[in-house]
Amino acid sequence: MRSRLKAFGLHLLGSATVLALVLGALWLGWYRWPGWYLSSVLHVVGIVVMVDLVMGPTLTLIVANPGKLRRIFARDVAVIVSVQLAALVYGTVTLWSGRPLYYAFSENSLDCVQASDIDVSEAAVALRQNPTLAPHWYSLPRGTSNRGGRDCRSCASSSQGSMTSRS
């Protein structure tokens, strides 16, 4: 039992380290405040954390056996880690496609324009305008919010208009 707990602990430590690096990059880069909250990213992050921090180490705890050959145990852990990495890549790509590109504030509403809300060509324009991939803040004139009849996605994606940039 002691060797199983040691394998579980090492796998948990490695998974937590990799996950902390990925989530830290997401927090500081793609989802700067308040994007983490406005885009409901916590649902996807919860699934990624569940798969990477719970499933991987638990499966290692189950397959770890002191009587098992080291080569077979290494193969089992390699399969578990590869499935974890595939899930982490899938979750990261999902988070990439939902990252906020623009925050548009008008009167008393804050609208978040995500990458999944606009066309691929408009996302390419956003990448040219913002190579650091950090979301930009825009203040729309009064009466131009999404509820006021004018779509803030079209405002954010157009290079002209009466928006004031706050990067």
Q: Does 125 lie in the same domain as 62? A: no
Q: What is the average pLDDT across 3-27?
A: 90
Q: Does 33 lie in the same domain as 87? A: yes
pLDDT band at 142 (very low <50, low <70, confident <90, very high): low
The whole domain housing 149 covers 100-166
Q: Which of 97, 122, 149 is the last residue of a domain?
A: 97
Burial of 67 per CB tally in 10 Å (0-12, 13-18, 19+): exposed
pLDDT value at 165 more than 60: no
In this prediction, residue 114 carries a pLDDT of: 77
pLDDT band at 52 (very low <50, low <70, confident <90, very high): confident
In this prediction, residue 161 carries a pLDDT of: 39
Count CA atoms closer than 13 A to 71's CA, side-chain side: 0
Q: With beta carbons less than 8 A apart as the criterion, state whether 98 and 47 touch.
A: no
Residues 6+ apart with CB under 8 A from 26: 41, 45, 92, 95
Q: Does 68 lie in the same domain as 28? A: yes
Q: With beta carbons less than 8 A apart as the criterion, state whether 30 and 83 touch.
A: no
Q: What is the average pLDDT across 138-166?
A: 47
